[in-house]
Amino acid sequence: PRDADADDAVTALGRARDALVPGGTLFLELPHPRETFRLDDVGEDAWIAPLAGGAGDVRVAWGDDDDAFDALTQVRSATVTFEVVRDGAVASSLTDVVPTREFTLQELLLLARLAGGFDATVATYGGMDLEIAADDDELAYRLVVVLTKAGGAPG
């Protein structure tokens, strides 16, 4: 949840758990703690996706160095820009500020425990490439948390 409080997060995790079969997995992708706490020179995340039929690209930039962060609520006002690029020129653009609640790993684990129904063993990774450890200072750029619904066959 983008600007959720703890109760909203527990409700969302409970609903996600209910949608899973026993042993099913829930992947949660979060900013890496180095980004949340600004421990490194972390700037914006940006990516490009091609439009259908080669008609151009959609470019997305998430976050700006000047985005405000409220340390008490843990809500970052993230600047998000979408651009449609055709023939090398920006055909349309939209910029907005999105309130985003940032959770730490320890908070997320506690919220999952409060929601109930997840295994106690949790996997963490430094990106969607499961070969990247969450604590890899060079390669980890996201925090991916994998929760498993209780009741599955032992691995």
Mention every residue, 6+ apart, whose C-beta is less than 8 A from residue 53: none
- Phi first, then psi: what are they for 17, rounded to 5°? -60, -45
Banded model confidence at residue 1, pLDDT cuts 50, 70, 90: very low
The pLDDT score that the predictor gives to residue 79 is 93
Is 43's pLDDT higher than 50? no
Residue-wise pLDDT for 120-142, tens only, equals: 999 999 988 889 999 998 888 88
Distance CA 111, CA 125 (A): 19
CB atoms within 10 A of CB 26: 16
Distance CA 73, CA 99 (A): 11
Distance CA 76, CA 155 (A): 38
Residue-wise pLDDT for 82-135, tens only, equals: 999 999 899 999 999 999 888 899 999 999 999 999 999 999 999 888 899 999
The pLDDT score that the predictor gives to residue 34 is 80
Residue-wise pLDDT for 61-78, tens only, equals: 988 888 898 988 888 898
Going by their DSSP bridges, the two strands 123-125 and 142-148 should be labelled as antiparallel
CB 139 within 8 A of CB 126: yes
The pLDDT score that the predictor gives to residue 36 is 75
Residue-wise pLDDT for 21-36, tens only, equals: 999 999 999 888 887 7
Is 7's pLDDT higher than 50? yes
CB 4 within 8 A of CB 99: no
Stated pTM of the model: 0.78
In this prediction, what percent of the chain has a pLDDT beyond 70? 92
Distance CA 80, CA 129 (A): 24
Q: Which residue has the tokens 């730490």?
A: 104
The pLDDT score that the predictor gives to residue 64 is 84
